[in-house]
Amino acid sequence: MKKKLIGLLLVLAIGFGQQARADEGMWPLFLISQLQDSMAARGLKLTAEDIYSINKACVKDAVVRLMNKQNRMFCTGEIISQEGLFLTNHHCGYGAIQELSTNEDNILANGFWAKSHSEERQANFNIGLLSKLEDVTSMIIDSLPTGDDESARSKAAAAMVKSVAAKLKEALGDDKDMYVIEVVPFWSGNRYIAMYYEVFTDIRLVGTPPENIGKFGGETDNWEWPRHTCDISIFRIYAGANNKPAKFDAANKPYTPKYFFPINIQGPQEKSYAMILGYPGRTQRSTFSEGIKYYSEKERPMRVKVRRDILDIYESYMHKDPKIKLMYADKFAGLSNYWKKFMGEATALKKLSIYDRRKAEENKFAAWVKNTNNTKYANVISMYNEAYADVDKYGMYGVYLQDGISNSQPMRFAMGAAELEKLLMDKSKKEEAKKAATEMAADLDEDFKEFYEPIEKKVLASVLMHLVEDLDNATLPKALTDMATKYKKDYAAMAEMMWNKSVFVSKDKLAAFLKSPSLKKLQKDPIYAVTSGYTNEVTKNMQPEIMKINAKLGKANRLYQAGIMEMSPNSLNNPDANGTMRLTYGRVLPYNGKDATFFKEFTTSRGVIENILLAMLNSMHLPDSSI
C-alpha cells in the first residue's frame, strides 16, 4: 500500500488518540543535543543521549521503520515488549492485513487476535532498526565538480551517494546482508548523512481491531483532530540465531529488542511533555513562494479532483459487494489517504497565508544578499521565478501520469510493456524479447488478483476524460485526440472500444499475447497506443525541459538553504523531512481549531457514539426542527 508515515506519540495510550501541540520542526537526530534545554523546559526527563546513542540502548532502538520487500519505507512503529511486539497505525498494517484476508476469513473486516505465537500470521513487509548515523558530507561534496552545470553536479552527486553507500555496506563484512545503508541529502544537498538500518524480514501479524473500529471515520476524519478511531495494528519481529535477522522459519524466535516502550494505559495529562519520534516521509516546507501558489491553486486541486473521481467509482461497487470491497480495500485506502491530505493542503496553504509569509522571508533574504553584496546568492530568486514559470507549463503532465494513468490498471500494465516493445523492434533481440514476455507472464496472477472489470472500465473512461479535458490537446498522443474527435468525447464509448480491442484488460488475453508477442499487435493495441504515447511525451519529448527545470530548482534550493544558514548562523534550521527518523516535541494541550470551535486534548469513546448518531441523522436529511 502506497502511503506515508504519520508518526505515533511515544506517550501512546491504547484506545483513542491524544493530540499534542509541538514546537516547530521535525528535527534530525544529529541536532537533538542542541534541543536539550528546550525539551527539558517542557518537561523532558531524558537526555539527548537517552534518545539517540550508538554506545548504549536508547529510545531510537524501539522505533521501527516499516519497509516493503524492496526496503522502501512507508510507516513507523514502536516496540512495546521484550518479545519484539510492536504497534503501528491500523492504516499502516492495512495492506498486510488485507493480503492475509480471504472472503471466508476476512480478518480485515472482522479483526484478528492471535492467542499464541503459533497463531501469528506472516506479514509481507520488512522492518528496519536504525543502528547509527554517520556524516559523510565531505565524502560526497569534496568530489563534486564545480561550475554552473547543475545537471552534471546532480549526476555526480547521485553516483557518489551510490558509491559511498556501497563502500560503507561492504565494510560491514559478514553482517552486510543484514543491513540497508542509505546516504541521504539534507538541506537540499548541503549535507549528507549515512543511515544504517538492520533489516528484519520475518514479521508476523499479532492483532488488529475490526476495520469499522480501526478505520472509524475513514478519510473524513483522517489528517484531522478530533479523531475517534482505534488506529492500531500489532505485529511481532522474529529473529534467527543470536537474535539476528533471518528469513521466515518456524524455528525463529521473537526478537529481543535493545529497548522497548512501556505502555501508559492512563495516557498523558494536560500540559504533559510529549514527542513524536518516527519516519515522516517527505515534506516540501521550504518550497519557494511561486511553488506555494502552484501547489495551492493548480497542482493540489487537480490531484484531489482526479483521485475523487476514481474513488467514487470504487465506492459505487464496494458498497454493493463485500468481495469487491475486500478486493479494492487497499487500493481505496491508499488513494483516499492522500486525496484527503492534498485537499487539506490546498485549503490550508491559502487559509494560513503561506504564500505571503514565504514571500516575506524571501524578501528578507534578498535584502541580505543586496546589503552584503554576496554574489554567490545573487541569482537565487530569479532562478526560482524562471523555474516555476516552467513548472506551471509542464508540471501537470507528471501529475496525470502518477494520479491518472498509473491508477488505471490496464494502462499501468501497458506501461510495463514498454521494454518489450523496444526488444521486439530489434530483430537481433528475439530471445531477449521472449524472456521479457515470459517474465511478464509470470506476474499475471498477482497483477490480476485485485482487478474487477466494471470498475476498471469506468476508471479508464475517467482517466481519458481528464487527459483530454484538463491538458493541452496539442501535447497529447494523436491516438487519443483522434479517438476523442471520432467519439465526440464520449469517454464511456471510448473506453468500451479500447476494452474490446486491448490485450491488457484480462489475464487470459494478456497471457495469450505474451506466449507469442507481436510488435504489430502491441503497437495497434489502443490502450498501449494511448499510454505509450503519453509516457513518451512526458519522459522523452518533455524531458529536456523537465531536466532544465530540475537543474534550476536543484541549484536554487541548494543555494537558498546555504544562504539562509549563512544569513542566520546562530539559528537552528530544521531541514525538510526526507524519509529519515525525526523528532518533534511539545506539550499536550487543548486548542482553538477555528472560530468558535474548541478542541480538548483527548477524545473518548462517547464521541464514537455521537459521531454515529450524527451520521445517521444527516443521512435522514431531517429539517432542523425535527432534531
How confident is the model at residue 534, as a pLDDT?
Answer: 96
- Please enumerate in sequence order all residues whose Cβ is within 8 A of that of 531, keeping only pairs 6 or more positions apart, or say none: 405, 411, 414, 415
Angle between the N-to-C axes of helices 453-470 and 526-536, in degrees from 0 to 180, rounded to the nearest 10: 40
Dihedral over Cα of 18, 24, 27, 32: its sign: negative
Across 420-434, average pLDDT: 94
- Tell me: the pLDDT tens digits for 4-51? 222 222 222 222 233 333 456 799 999 999 999 999 999 999 999 999
Spatial separation of the C-alpha atoms in residues 528 and 413, rounded to whole Å: 9
The pLDDT of residue 583: 96
- Asked whether the beta carbons of 185 and 578 are under 8 A apart, the reply is yes
Select the more confidently predicted residue: 594 or 479.
Answer: 479
Give the start-end residues of each E strand in 417-482: none
Q: What's the rounded mean pLDDT across residues 528-532?
A: 97
For 489-523, the pLDDT digits (tens) are: 999 999 999 999 999 999 999 999 999 999 999 99
Taking Cα atoms as reference points, which of 8, 12, 18 lies closest to residue 92? 8
- Residue 76 confidence class, pLDDT cut points 50, 70, 90: very high
- Which whole number is the average pLDDT over 381-409? 95
Provide the pLDDT confidence category of residue 609 given band limits of 50, 70 and 90: confident
The residue-averaged pLDDT of 618-624 equals 56
In one letter, which amino acid is 531? T
Confidence bin at 452 (pLDDT 50/70/90):
very high
Q: For the chain, what's the residue count?
A: 627
Nearest to 213 by CA among 618, 611, 616: 611
Helix (H, G, I), strand (E, B) or coil at 434: helix
- Count of CB atoms situated within 10 Å of the CB of 571: 8
Per-residue pLDDT, 17:
31
- Please tell me whether residue 13 adopts helix, strand or coil conformation: coil
Residue 593 has pLDDT above 90, yes or no: no
Q: What number is the average pLDDT over the span 572-586?
A: 93
Q: What is the mean pLDDT of residues 193-211?
A: 97
* Phi and psi, residue 247, nearest 5°: -65, 160
3-state secondary structure labels for all residues of 386-420 = HHHHHHHHHHHHHHHHHHCHHHCHHHHHHHCCHHH
What is the arithmetic mean of pLDDT over 250-264?
95
For residue range 83-120, list pLDDT tens digits in order.
999 999 999 999 999 999 999 999 999 999 999 999 99
The DSSP string of 62-118 is GEEEEE-TT--EEEEEEE-STT-EEEE-HHHHHHHHHHT--SSS-HHHH-EE-SSGG
Measured from the Cβ of residue 567, the count of other Cβ atoms closer than 10 Å reads: 16
Domain locations in the chain as residue ranges: 21-281+578-587, 286-357+381-395, 404-541, 591-626
State yes or no: pLDDT of 445 exceeds 80.
yes
List of residues 6+ apart from 302 with CB closer than 8 A? 396, 399, 470
Classified as helix, coil or strand, 525 is: coil
pLDDT reported for residue 220: 67
Residues 115-140 pLDDT 10s: 999 999 999 999 999 999 999 999 99
Q: What is the pTM of this model?
A: 0.84
Cell 509541538 locates to: 22
Closest CA to 285 of 572, 5, 561: 561
Q: What is the pLDDT of residue 620?
A: 64
CA 27 → CA 50, 53, 363, 486, distances in Å? 16, 16, 26, 56
DSSP states along 222-236: TTSSS------EEEE
